[in-house]
Chains A and B, each alone.
Chain A
Amino acid sequence: MTATVQSSNRFSRIGFAIFSGALVALALAPWWADRAELRLLSEIYAYVALASLWNLLAGYAGLVSVGQHAYVGLGAYGLFALAMLAGMHPLVAIPVAGLAAAAVSVPVALLIFRLRGHYFAIGTWVVAEVFRLSAAQVSALDGGSGTSLPSAIVLSIAGSRQLREFIIYWIAFALAVAVLGTVFVLLRSRYGLALTAIRDNELGARSNGVDVRRIKYVVYIAVAFGTAMVGALIFLQKIRISPDTAFSVNDWTAFVIFITVIGGIGRIEGPIIGTVVFFLLRQTLADLGAIYLLILGVAAIVVMLKAPKGLWGLVADRYGWQIFPLERRLIIDPGGAATPAAPR
């Protein structure tokens, strides 16, 4: 009797093919979309990336943070400081700002990992508040009132406005794909197995020899790196920054959490579905102002109570759908000879 592990099924092969086709079409968007559409798509990519990173943190590593806006703001301020004060090229400054935020996240993790569960969550928020208030004290970047990138720096990305918009679009696209790809590869690796084990039962994972603490540290720091790069890019596109927008709990934490939960937490597809739903809601209800945010809050509560696995969890469990081949299915062949992993 032999056993093989199979991770893809018919749906994941079809789903992955459709997904790959969509990626090619989106990569070519500058040739078919207008300026407003490109901008909207970039925004969607930023939220897909932020939600996927939060999903990795909370959905898999069990680190429910409500303070990820700390790293969006750090990345954004890192970019502005590097470009305006150190004269670094803004596109180089994106990864450097990410690295700087990752370096900051090391002592932060040492401190807030002392808090557990809910208290960890609010502890992350306190850290974000400290960063926001500190940013307001940096007089070189005009403190609390915020500042704008000088046009010389903006022009250094590319001379023509159109090319500049294309470049920023492609970077946003590449960042989202890189985040999804990294999360996918990570989950396929043995670390992914460990993370999935932590997600399902932390105590069980620990008793099976998973070094839970170390994995949590690594995930926290890696997510800080990614989140800060996304933050840097968002504000490179906005050109204007202030402590309240860069460290906004609603924009960069509440919406990101709602997106992930509505789409399906603990699944790689969840944040993508959630972002699509979020932007559909936003485009149709934007005129309602505050009411729209109220509806979003209600939607998140209803999904959490009625479908805790999110919209994707609902259909995936029912029909066996998956876009990314991550499921591990043990195929036992009583015949004896080793067989390649074949579809059922």
Chain B
Amino acid sequence: MMEWLNTIIQGVLLGGLYAMFAAGLALIFGVMRLVNIAHGDLIVLAAFVALVVVEALSVNPLTSLLVVVPLMAGLGYALQRLLLNRTLGDDLLPPLLVTFGLSVIIQNALLELFTADSRKLNAGQIEIASLHIGGGLAVGVLPLIQFALAVMVIAGLQWLFYRTALGRAFRATSDDQPVAQLMGLNNAHIFALAMALSLAVVAVAGVLLAVRANFDPSIGPARLIFGFEAVIIGGLGSMWGTLAGGVIIGVAQAVGAKLDPGWNLLAGHIAFLIVLALRPEGLFPKVQG
């Protein structure tokens, strides 16, 4: 019994990471109806950027966020302004193909620069610290920090969307682009800010991923799929929904892995397919896709 409780707690904490993969994806879909196929590869890119920063400045991975987040946000702004804005329109093929192309480019560039070797960031003592929460259960401090960060990021996005002028601009362009433009908003700039914000979240997710597990240039697409599943389970357009979705995928994977190590990832995907079959609009739907 305690063993199962432990499994579920680990799953919930892992779900925080998946929610962060999902939040960046949900953000840009909400604002400009763009699904970024390179999202997972950008997470891996952020992990490699953190690797370089950690090695160059010999700082703790969590401190490296101070450099990685602004770098990735800048990259996001430039990417949207120079490339992705040209793909937006009624046709869904151009953004899909261009981000697919980006995905292949990032993967192979990382392969060329860093080889296919597996890497990991070392966060030091904190990695092995744990909290005893009674009943013989212990929770790692690092997973707890990661989950708390995920909740903070999602709460922050929620606040930004509904309580700030920038959030109002995001929602306005999301509802009606031409009218938003008539009201004096520069859509190209707003979209670029949304992508910058998305990649800032990606940066946090990438660093947490790099501390938690091994990574190499090829693991991006699987991260995209976990994030995507969390978005759909949560319901399009709902930030807190992505957290619920991430937790469901995380718990399903942890329970699957406990039953049989080969079932780890499969169980997460099957949980997604079940939700899709029973409740295709997701658990907390807000907008129609």
Contacts and interface: CB of A to CB of B under 8 A. Distances in A.
A114 B276 contact: yes
Interface in A150-168: none
29 contacts: A118-B29, A118-B34, A118-B92, A119-B35, A121-B35, A122-B224, A122-B228, A129-B222, A129-B269, A130-B269, A130-B270, A130-B273, A133-B262, A133-B266, A133-B269, A136-B262, A137-B263, A249-B221, A254-B103, A257-B100, A258-B101, A261-B93, A291-B108, A294-B112, A297-B105, A304-B97, A304-B98, A304-B101, A305-B98
A293 B109 CA distance: 9
A289 B95 CA distance: 26
A113 to B, nearest CB: 10
Nearest to A143: B262
A289 B79 CA distance: 26
Contact of A300 (B101, B108, B262, B277): B101
B111 interface: yes
From A134, A137, A291, A293, residue with most partner B Cβ within 10 Å:
A293
Interface in A268-294: 289-291, 293-294
Contacts of A118: 29, 33-35, 92, 95-96
Contacts of B105: 294, 297-298, 301
Interface in B12-56: 29, 33-35, 37
Interface string B115-141: 000000000000000000000000000
B215 interface: no
A296 interface: yes
Closest 5 CB pairs of A and B: A118-B35, A297-B104, A114-B280, A290-B108, A297-B105
A291 B201 CA distance: 29
Interface in A30-58: 58
B225 A126 contact: yes
B65 interface: no
Interface string B66-98: 000000000000000001001100001111111
Given A115-B232, A122-B224, A254-B104, A137 B266 contact: yes
A125 B109 CA distance: 23
Contacts of A297: 101-105, 108
Contacts of B94: 304-305, 308
A40 to B, nearest CB: 23
Given A130-B269, A143-B262, 13 more contacts: A111-B277, A117-B289, A118-B96, A119-B35, A122-B35, A122-B225, A125-B221, A126-B272, A130-B266, A254-B100, A297-B105, A301-B105, A304-B98
A134 B263 CA distance: 9
B111 A64 contact: no
Contact of A291 (B95, B112, B224, B225): B112
B265 interface: yes
Chain B interface mostly: helix
Given A66-B100, A291-B108, A305 B289 contact: no
Contacts of B216: none
A293 B92 contact: no
Contact of A116 (B272, B277, B289): B289
Contacts of B270: 130
Contacts of B107: 293
Contacts of B228: 119, 122, 126
Nearest to B281: A114
B92 A126 contact: no
A117 B103 CA distance: 19
Contacts of B280: 114-115
A6 to B, nearest CB: 30
A123 interface: yes
Contacts of A126: 225, 228-229, 269, 272-273
A64 B289 CA distance: 16
Contacts of B37: 66, 122
A143 B266 CA distance: 14
Contacts of B96: 64, 66, 118, 121
B183 to A, nearest CB: 27
Interface string A90-129: 0000000000000000000001101111110111011001
B237 to A, nearest CB: 12
Contacts of A290: 108-109, 111-112
A291 B113 CA distance: 11
Contacts of A261: 93, 97
Contacts of B104: 250, 254, 293-294, 296-297
A125 B229 CA distance: 11
B232 A119 contact: yes
Given A126-B273, A293-B108, A64 B92 contact: yes
Contact of A117 (B92, B108, B262): B92
A82 to B, nearest CB: 24
Contacts of B262: 133, 136-137, 143
A301 B102 contact: yes
Contacts of B276: 111-112, 114-115, 123
A216 B251 CA distance: 35
Nearest to B86: A305
A230 interface: no
A130 B277 CA distance: 15
A265 interface: yes
Nearest to A116: B289
Contacts of B83: 301
B109 A294 contact: yes
B108 to A, nearest CB: 4
